[in-house]
Every structure is written in structure tokens, then in C-alpha cells.
Amino acid sequence: MGRPVTLPPVEQRHLGRSGLRVSRLALGTMTWGRDTDADEAAAQLTAFVDAGGTLVDTADVYADGAAERMLGALLRDVVPRSSVVLATKAVARRSDGPFGGGASRGALLAALDESLGRLGVDHVDLWQLHAWDPVVPLEETLSAVDAAVASGRVRYVGVSNYRAWQLGAAGSWQRAVPGRAPLVSLQSEYSLLERGVEGEVLDAAAHHGVGLLPWAPLARGVLTGKYRHGTPSDSRAASTHYARYVEHHRTERAARVVQAVATAADGLGTSPLAVALAWVRDRPGVVAPVVGARDAAQLAGSLAAEELELPPAIRSALDDVSAP
């Protein structure tokens, strides 16, 4: 397999108020096992690690577990397990089984064991609760987190898609008693087109020492400008299972923001992708945007943004045009 073009090394940041250091760009695997085959996934992972990337994010629900299996195979055959910070998520799915499903203690610990089996590892570096479960008591959900860390199967823990009060409740519970595993990360959608986490969510994250891992930092691909003149046949918007996911951000307001991003990119001699990614990467509280890619060439565009720092005037203009 050929080596990619040399790219600037990815810088490292601490994940929240913890000793764990991760690359300030994370590789997402949502399409692996469905739209991304094993060869393409190998090319992406190799390029990412070669550039100094470390944080690789997956989930038990991605392609019904196929993403975890594919990533696990690559960690055995393509890149060393020790070269990545391996992160996965447990989805709070309901079931009729005896453990109640969702974010119950039994269901979560069973989901973790299944993830470890698919990944072919004895532990994950970051285990994240994929969603809040209003049915199961929070203290029961978090007892599973503590048990997972105490058993050695998990090193650090985080949450995903939590609102400010939910993050506050979970963060306070974990820090109230010595020995509980503190939350170190939160995954939320955050981009120039989705700034809802600003304010209460980011304030709660800062208070509890939680670092933000933005998902969809390119607004589901819209901020790259690829949809300015239609829907490319090889894009997610042309896919039956991702079309609605992308359409969420194809609005008149989005078109104005995309135009501003494109104008900034032209002035800086770079790509709209790099501008949009650099903007969210350097927002207060952000540790590492999670980017997915159709192929290694597209990932190279994200990695190339590492050398871009937006001038204050351009950052201010983008803040204004994208203000909620």
C-alpha cells in the first residue's frame, strides 16, 4: 500500500481534565462496513496514523457492528493497537430481555463485552454513553461506567448527545465521591451551521472538566461546498440511508454560510473544508472534531487543515454570518 503525501503532524491535546492526550482531529468510522470497504478503511487509518492522528471513534451501532469488526481487524493487521486511542460508544437501545435494555447496568456491560469481542481487544481507551436514557435511573447507568473502569475493560469514560442539565447531573454524580470514574468527554454536533452547544452545554462541560468532541464538524458535508450546485452522485446526500441526514443542513441560511466559507477559502488559498474545520477545531472547549471521509483523498483534505490558523478578521466574519 502506497504512502500518502506528507502532511503536517497533528497536534495533541488533553481530553478534558484528564491525563489522556489525543490528536486534535479524530477519525470517525460511521460509514465503515456499509459505504466504506476494508481496503478503503485501511487506507484511511494508515494515512491518519502516519499524520500523527491517534483518536479513532466508532460505535456498536455503526453498520450493526460491522464498523467495530472492521476496525478491530485493521488494528491487528494494518496499524498497531498501541498507536491509537480507541473510542467506542454504547447505544441505549430498548429490549424485551431481562436486563431491560437501554442504559441499564446489565445492558451496558453486555454491550461493552460485545464491542470488545468485535474489536478483538481487552479494553477500550474511551467508552462513551451514546445517548441519555430517561427510563433508567442515572445512578444505575453510571454504576455500569464505574464497573467497566474498575474491571480494566475501560480506561476513560464520556457521554454523547447529552443536554447541559444531563451533563451537569452526570458530571456532578461522578465527581461527588472519590473513586468514581469522572467524565472526560462529550460528543455533540457542532459546526458553523449547528452552534446549539454554545452557552449552557459548553459552560457545563468546562465546569466539569469535560472536553468536547464535535461530530459533524463539516455540517454533514454541507460546509465543504459540494452541494452548492446540486447533489453529487457519490455523496452522502445521494445515499438512501444518509440523504435525510444531510438534508437537515441544506437551507437558505446554510447557503449564506457556505458562501462565506468559500469566500474565506479563496482569500486564504485553501479549501472550504479546511476553513470550516479550523473554525470549529479552535473554538473554546473543543478538543478534537470527529471527521468521517469517503476515501483517503478526502481525509487528506481534513488532515491538511492542521496547518491552517484562521486570521482573527476571518474568524470574526464567520462568527457573525453563522450566528444562531
Q: Which helix (H) or strand (E) holds 266?
A: helix 252-268
**How far apart are alpha carbons 220 and 258 in whole angstroms?**
13
Which positions ≥6 away from 167 have C-beta within 8 Å? 159, 183, 186, 201, 204, 205, 208, 210
End-to-end CA distance of the chain: 45
Output phi, psi for 42, to 5 deg. Answer: -65, -40
Q: How far apart are CA 173 and CA 162, in angstroms?
A: 15
Q: Assess whether 62 carries a catalytic annotation.
A: yes
Where on the phi/psi map is residue 209: left (φ > 0), alpha (ψ -120 to 50), or beta? left
Backbone angles phi, psi at 233, to 5 degrees: -65, -25
Residues annotated as part of the active site: 62
